[in-house]
Amino acid sequence: MELEPTIFDKIINKEIPADIVFENDCVLAFKDINPQAPVHVLFIPKLRINTINDLKDDQAQIIGELFLAARDYAKQITEDENGYRVIMNCNENGQQSVFHIHLHFMAGRQMQWPPG
């Protein structure tokens, strides 16, 4: 079944602009349009996976690639030692709004816990 494209497919295909901060064969990272921290970047796989629930056992590498890219970005912007937060939302209770998995990377301020 053909999946309805999301806004992230359009960003991957460069059909709509985004402030891209990192790209390789597997991962694209760009600034969130509605930032919740001084640094708020979304790391997404180029492969469409709707939610964490849809991950297949042989796709662990993709999740690893997202984290490695986030790790390198934190070091690049020199926020690695200060610290940062990564979040993945899933479905309604997790407040997922774009159904293409993505890692939120937030830095540049003191985070609070619990996140609400």
28 vs 74, beta carbon nearer ligand 5GP = 28
Rama region for 14: left / alpha / beta (φ>0; ψ in -120 to 50; rest): left
CB closer to ligand 5GP, 20 vs 60? 20
Distance in Å, CB of 77 to ligand 5GP, minimum: 17
State how far the Cα of 70 lies from the Cα of 72, in Å rounded to an integer: 5
Residue numbers annotated as active site: 102
Contacts with ligand 5GP, 16-45, as mask; x by CB under 6 A: --x-----------xxxxx-------x---
State which of residues 50, 51, 59, 89 lies at the interface with ligand 5GP (CB under 6 A): 89
Other CB atoms within 10 Å distance of the CB of residue 66: 22
Considering only residues 26, 63, 86, 98, which one is a binding residue for ligand 5GP as defined by CB under 6 A?
98
Give dist(CA 32, CA 44) in Å, integer.
11
Whether residue 40 contacts residue 50, with contact meaning beta carbons closer than 8 Å, is answered with no
Query: Which one of 78, 97, 110, 112 is in contact with ligand 5GP (CB under 6 A)?
Result: 97
For the chain, the 3-state helix, strand and coil shares in percent, each to the nearest 5, are: 25, 20, 55
Binding site for ligand 5GP (CB under 6 A): 7, 18, 30-34, 42, 89, 95-98
